[in-house]
Amino acid sequence: MPHLLNVWPSVSRRLASASRVLLLFDYDGTLTPIVARPEIATLSEETRRSLTTLAGMDKFVVGVVSGRGLSDLEALVAIPGLVYAGNHGLEISGAGMDFIHQDAPSFEATLVEIAKSLERGLGGVPGILVDNKRLTITVHFRSTPDSYASQVDSMVVATAAPYVDSGTMRITRGKKVVEVRPNLDWGKGQAIEKIREDCRDNPYPVFFGDDQTDEDGFTVVQDAGGLAVFIGPPRQNTKALHQLESPAEVQQTLELLTCLDQA
């Protein structure tokens, strides 16, 4: 699994030869380090500056594809001209796009019910956060003692079981999070395909991500001949063919990308 910066000369030639490049990033763990509470994950000044520069270059379409709710993501990033995909791509806006998955809103009332049950059931767990993002729910347990982890998982599974058994909802997992999502055949991969289809000039797609729900996105961009970059220590169980160690190295890459036209 090559480190992206070790093969940068050949990668940058490939990017330089594409007339347009679609640069997509996951947010938490990719553009920002993972922190104890989701509301304090903010972009560094350098990353904000690089993304703003890239968004202003004709060559690039820049976007963020996150499990966060769209309004939360837009407020945190707040860079004009970007594409924002929230709730794992169920809602997308910016750069001329205004999309919500047609079936997603019909799950809202059920998600409210499930979130209430989760809050009741998990109320005694220290540090737990049940975040109903309108179209999906995330239960965060990063601030919860490790000894509670399996209890939290079983509680989410048990609470969602009637909805999972009936085919209404599904459960996905990430770094210290368990999520309850509508059982739709839609995730970051389909969202990335949609964003790419909506771009003119069939851009060369690149996607950076650090977690399980990013894997579909890796497959989609690589199937289209593009570049997928896993953020974290090199590992076997990712489909991404390239790797960067940390959000700090993502920032270095952003810096290099801003110089691409002069390369």
Q: Which residues bind Mg ion (CB under 5 A)?
A: 26, 28-29, 210-211
* Least distance in angstroms from the C-beta of 30 to Mg ion: 5
* Least distance in angstroms from the C-beta of 259 to Mg ion: 26
In this structure, the strands spanning 169-174 and 129-132 are: unpaired
* Least distance in angstroms from the C-beta of 171 to Mg ion: 17
Q: Which is nearer to Mg ion, 211 or 215 (CB)?
A: 211
Q: Which is nearer to Mg ion, 131 or 211 (CB)?
A: 211
Using CB atoms, what's the residue nearest to Mg ion? 29
Go through 199-214 and write b for each residue having 16 or more CB atoms within 10 A of its CB, e for each that does not.
beeebbbbbbbbbebb
Q: Which is nearer to Mg ion, 85 or 155 (CB)?
A: 85
**Is 26 noted as a catalytic residue in this protein?**
yes
* Least distance in angstroms from the C-beta of 67 to Mg ion: 7
Q: Which is nearer to Mg ion, 67 or 226 (CB)?
A: 67
**Active-site entry in 26, 28, 131, 210:** 26
* Least distance in angstroms from the C-beta of 231 to Mg ion: 8
Q: Which is nearer to Mg ion, 132 or 213 (CB)?
A: 213
Residues with a catalytic annotation lie at 26
